[in-house]
A and B are shown apart, each in its own frame.
Chain A
Amino acid sequence: MVTEDLVWSALETVKDPEVPVSIVALGLINGIALEGSEVAIQVTFTSLGCACMDWIVDDIKAAVGALQEISSVHVDVVWNDPWTKERMTVAARNQLGKWGIQA
């Protein structure tokens, strides 16, 4: 049985290509909906001009699609609620700070 927890842990492994921090810790996942073996994932980005939107969507499909008993992964890009830096975990913010990125 696939559980939502399992989907979340697969999402944890997907990193933002520009800064190798998990997209979950960055607060890019707006929600997931699991129905049987089909999952729909709502993802948002830090800005409309995010350089890696396709890339992140591809990585999400690959990571979640690799879960056993998942037959289809649907990724919806949403802009509500918009991303703000408050959505990042403290650990993610500290890691960015170490690389000289103010957040």
Chain B
Amino acid sequence: MISNEELLEKLANGFVVETEDDMSEDYRKLLVQTLTITADTELISIFSILDALQYVPTLNRRITELAIIQDELGHAHIAYRLLRLLGVDTDYLIYEREAKDFRNPYLMDLKLNNYAELLTLHALLDRAGYVLLGDVFHHTSYGPWKRALTKVDAEEGFHVRNGESGLRAMVKTAAGRQQVQAAVDWMFIMGLDFFGMPDHLKKRSLQLDFRLKGETNDQMRQRWMKSAVGFLDSIQIQAPVHWDSESDSYVTDFPYPCEWDTDQRRWQLDRPVTWQDVLGRFRTHGPYRREYVEILRRGRESYLALRGGGVA
């Protein structure tokens, strides 16, 4: 391990970090934290898709969703594998850690109610993942992750296209269009949350200094909005944001952040909250987290039982 100063100087000259010896203590800590959030997000993201398979209208479109689940498990595997390389006990993380300690975003702990919501998940939230991981892909100073992300980037593109193509077909009927708009109304704001605290509330980011990422939260949020709104415009679906030429950026049509009503499963747009409140909601996580983690572990237990019985 080396000091922060020494590492920062090397990074300024384009140094690529490969092993733990190349890292400083703080760099390693931040990398482990970032990889854990990524791994947990990829892993827990599959459960709401799995549950929503019941709404997918045709067999082959279900297989498309299964292919996406397989991709996400592959993405999770990459991130956990890198964590193991850094000496982290990933069996503990996946199979023993308390459900509440997973680091995935709030949205992953919910259930989807129809096919429009599943397609919107792909068109908007996989797009958010694409923006976030695309930033890592283009900017990270950690070589092993950068190399692994080539394929992840291509696959996230597929997930987004699946959402877009499905939504394009769905808005052709009035009933379908109404469902899509209803899904976008709440899920777009979940997408805003994905990028975390706004820059002006954050202290200086060591992640940027270490080139673990290249863009700030607000820069990525803006890039996501531009891309998402562009698509939604093309199918004439409203997003709750508009372009503000004065600030040269997208701004929300309502005071953001605002309160999420868990029971009614909708945003209270007239009830602004602070980012401390938002982080509090993230910490208490969503209603199905426990169930999802249980499914994950039951799968392993029954597999081990079968193998013990000589079946698998």
Contacts and interface: CB of A to CB of B under 8 A. Distances in A.
Interface of A: 17-20, 49-55, 58-59, 98-101
Residue of B60, B63, B155, B165 with most chain A CB atoms under a 10 A cut-off: B60
Contacts of B162: 17, 55
Give the size range of B's interface with the partner.
10 to 19
Given A17-B161, A18-B158, A20-B157, A52 B60 contact: yes
B154 A99 contact: yes
Nearest to B58: A54
B169 interface: yes
A92 B257 CA distance: 45
A63 to B, nearest CB: 12
A100 B67 contact: no
A62 to B, nearest CB: 9
Contacts of B63: 49-51
Contacts of A50: 63
Interface of B: 58, 60-61, 63-64, 66-67, 150-151, 154-155, 157-158, 161-162, 165, 169
Contact of B151 (A52, A54, A100): A100
Contacts of B67: 18, 51-52
Contact of B60 (A18, A53, A59): A53
A31 B61 CA distance: 25
B151 A55 contact: no
Given A51-B66, A51-B67, A101-B151, A19 B158 contact: yes
Contacts of B158: 17-19
A91 to B, nearest CB: 16
